[in-house]
């Protein structure tokens, strides 16, 4: 099993672009279709720690579910962190994508070629 994992939505062009680049570079990775294989709250906490970000930093606030929940009005502070994480676990479509975890224990939001290359560089010996 590879240490590098990419959370994707197959309908997302940024996800497809990241996969194309990983394949072109011969990178070893596993794919997680996170809308089908929904991450638990603990997995989201772990990825946030690897990213060095807060849950509101990886939330797609323009999604319909975000608007229904009124996320734009939620506090962005430590006391509300668990509420945000619960919303991401319950509505995985709100999670920014693709997220790539690297072998060195870090992660990146791979929306640019540079970010995908950064994850690959952290996963090479």
Measured distance CA(47)–CA(26) in Å, rounded: 24
Determine whether 15 is an active site residue: no
Regarding beta strands 30-33 and 5-8, do their DSSP bridges make them parallel or antiparallel, or are they unpaired?
parallel
Measured distance CA(46)–CA(69) in Å, rounded: 24
pLDDT number for residue 74:
97
pLDDT number for residue 86:
98
pLDDT number for residue 125:
52
pLDDT number for residue 57:
97
Residue of 4, 11, 12, 47 marked catalytic: 12
pLDDT number for residue 123:
83
pTM metric for this prediction: 0.93
Q: Which domains does the chain have, with CATH numbers?
A: 5-123 (3.40.30.10)
Query: Edge-to-edge, what's the strand order for the sheet holding 30-33?
Result: 30-33, 5-8, 99-101, 107-109
pLDDT number for residue 2:
46
pLDDT number for residue 97:
96
Residues of the chain with pLDDT under 70: 1-2, 125
């Amino acid at each position: 099993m590879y240490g590098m994992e990419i959370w994707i939505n197959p309908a997302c062009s940024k996800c497809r672009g990241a996969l194309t680049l990983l394949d072109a570079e011969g990178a070893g990775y596993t794919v997680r279709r996170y809308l089908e294989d929904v991450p638990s709250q603990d997995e989201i906490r772990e990825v946030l720690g690897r990213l060095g970000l807060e849950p509101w930093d990886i939330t797609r606030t323009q999604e319909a579910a975000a608007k229904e929940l009124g996320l734009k009005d939620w506090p962005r502070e430590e006391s509300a962190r668990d509420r945000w994480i619960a919303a991401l676990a319950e509505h995985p479509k709100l999670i920014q994508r693709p997220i790539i975890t690297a072998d060195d224990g870090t992660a990146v939001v791979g929306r640019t070629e540079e970010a995908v290359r950064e994850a690959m560089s952290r996963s090479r010996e």
